[in-house]
Amino acid sequence: MTCPDTSLAGRQDNLAASFAIFAGLGASLVAIGLARFAYTPLIPELIKAHWFAPGHVVYLGAANFAGYLVGALMGRRLGARWTHRTMLRAMMALATLSFAACAAPLSLGWFFAWRFLSGFAGAVVMVLAAQTVLPMVAPARRGLASGAIFMGVGAGIVVSGTLVPALLRAGLAATWLGLAACSALFTILTWRAWPAHDAAAGANAPAGRMPRAVRLLYAEYAAVAVGLVPATVFLVDYVARGLHQGTAQGAVYWVVYGAGALSGPMLYGLAADRIGFARGLRLGLALSGAAAAAMALFPHALTLGAASLLLGAFTPGVATLMIGRLHELLPGAPAAQHAAWGRSTTVFALFQALAGYGLSWLFAWSGGQHGVIFMVAGAAFAAALALDFGVAAARR
């Protein structure tokens, strides 16, 4: 009698874990994949429709980075004050509301506030979702589960790249409302899938001072944050206006970018299982640096397609690699792992916000030269790769 009961309990646990993974995927899709990345293919249309001036449109994109920074700073604290499930539900609802609010361009301040709140929601989801879901998953499946959660980012990019051009035929306001409806659907579908109790609640305990290798990894993640900004903000505008190919062609490359983002977390997770998280991370940095440089120097169709695919794969893929690398550097210490992931997300958010505003200024100062922006990205990935060798040296 014991074996059937145990088997039934195991099946129930696996089912609950599968629902939780789906919830994590849905949250990253709504609060990051759509809330951040659906804005990119809208940039040329926001300018053409005269909703905002070109400079303002780019700064509004950076508002999401600023919100992400604040959310990263507050994510662990909010998760400790309320349940993770409550906060994750609330953040998905907030991201949905932000889409609906952006359908009415009442003022620059109004739009900035809602773009800020969408970024805030994304950071809280990034801090809490994986740490809420992964403790429910057997250790042997956590790499795959982590990849599935962050795959939601890529799924959101694909949805935005295919849905936005279709919705734009009905106008910008209808596009924002359509994105709100899509987000609301996923929020409803995942509402009851979150774990009722925080399996990682003990991870909110103080973790103490981190080893030097972990602190160097923070610096590496900061450089990655800078390197990822140009593609996430400027890719569609680069193709549409910089290369004079139009918004529709820009959306094609955004779908390619999204296809990379959809597959990146799983592929990098599988690579890490075979060659280790350290080597997987170096591989991603080398490929992304080469892609950014190629996009700046060789803006031909084949090169742009390959570079978009590689940069897309690393955008969410790096989260899978980083969380695994932190677990390697802090084995058997869930409190330290959770704290390190929260801090690394904060560092990433800070430098992404700084890069968002800094590159917006550089873009305006250079007279709209997209190639300069992508060369900065290549240099940032090279710096991150150099720092990774420092992490390895510090661990010895």
CB of 41 closer than 8 Å to CB of 157: no
CA distance 29 to 33: 4
CA distance 299 to 307: 10
Residue 372 main-chain phi, psi, to 5 deg? -60, -40
CB of 359 closer than 8 Å to CB of 58: no
Return the closest-CA partner of residue 22 out of 7, 30, 388: 30
CA distance 392 to 174: 50
Residue 150 main-chain phi, psi, to 5 deg? -75, -15
**SS3 of 72, please?**
helix
Taking residue 7's Cβ as centre, other Cβ atoms within 10 Å add up to: 10
Tens-of-pLDDT digits for all 396 residues of the chain?
444 444 555 566 677 788 889 999 999 999 998 998 888 778 878 888 888 877 788 778 778 888 988 998 898 888 888 888 999 999 999 999 999 999 988 888 899 999 999 999 999 999 898 888 877 877 667 767 778 888 888 888 888 778 888 898 898 999 999 999 999 999 999 999 998 766 544 555 555 678 899 999 999 999 999 999 999 888 888 898 888 888 778 878 888 988 898 899 889 988 888 888 899 999 999 999 999 999 999 989 999 999 999 999 999 899 989 988 998 898 878 778 888 988 998 899 889 888 888 888 898 888 888 999 999 999 999 999 999 999 988 876
**Length reported for the chain:** 396
CB of 130 closer than 8 Å to CB of 149: yes
- pTM for this one? 0.81
**SS3 of 53, please?**
coil
Domain 11-191+211-395 is in which class? mainly alpha
Q: Two tokens at 194?
A: 């979150």
| For the chain, domain boundaries | 11-191+211-395
Cβ contacts of 165-174, under 8 Å, gap ≥ 24? 165/41, 165/247, 165/248, 165/251, 168/45, 168/247, 172/42, 172/45, 172/46, 172/49, 172/51, 172/103, 173/103, 173/104, 174/103
Could you give the dihedral angle defined by the CA atoms of residues 256, 262, 264 and 270, in that order, rounded to the nearest 10 degrees?
-140
Alpha-carbon dihedral sign for residues 44, 92, 121, 107: positive
CA distance 313 to 27: 19
CA distance 41 to 80: 36
Q: Two tokens at 92?
A: 């998905």
Q: How many helices (H) and strands (E) does the chain have?
A: 13, 0
CA distance 319 to 126: 9
CA 210, chain centre distance (Å): 24
By CB atoms closer than 10 A (0-12, 13-18, 19+), residue 239 is: buried
Q: Two tokens at 7?
A: 């088997």
CB of 376 closer than 8 Å to CB of 356: no
